[in-house]
Amino acid sequence: MSTTAESMNATQMDEWLSKKLDELLPTKLQKIEAARTPSMAIIATKGTLDWAYPPFILASTASALGWDTTIFFTFYGLLLLKKEIPCEVSPLGNPAMPMKMPFGPKWFQNYSWPMPNLLMAGVPGFEKVPPA
């Protein structure tokens, strides 16, 4: 005596499988969607105070709403993980990027050159405080 699967030809098997999938798949997808926790990934790219607020506020709001939240910190964004963030807002580039000199005496190599600020300080529109 043959089983049902053995007595079916390929066309009948395809029809049977299609019918079963149409029955089971929508309910299974609804169960998966109902059990899914929304998630969010945020990238923190700069280490200044003005760029610290967006990722932290978005992440804390999403977490309060029950979302799984992850913040990815790039190289310069790692400064936001310090206990004390230098409270400086700079429109002159990325002050988290220190410019070290690879040559010269030790005191010259260890000095942090504020290159973006130094180069753009004399250009109109790049001042920290707008003129009154």
Q: How far apart (Å, rounded) are the C-alpha atoms in residues 132 and 116?
A: 24
Is the per-residue pLDDT at 117 higher than 60? no
Name the one residue in this structure whose structure tokens are 């993980």: 81
Confidence at residue 41, expressed as pLDDT on a 0 to 100 scale? 92
List, in sequence order, every residue forming a beta bridge with 113; answer none if it has no partner.
Answer: 99
Of 52, 92, 54, whose CA–CA distance to 76 is shortest? 52
The pLDDT of residue 132 is 47
pLDDT above 90: residue 69: yes
How confident is the model over 101-117, as a mean pLDDT?
Answer: 67
Residues 6+ positions from 43 with CB-CB distance below 8 Å: 55, 71, 72, 74, 77
Does 60 have pLDDT greater than 90?
A: yes
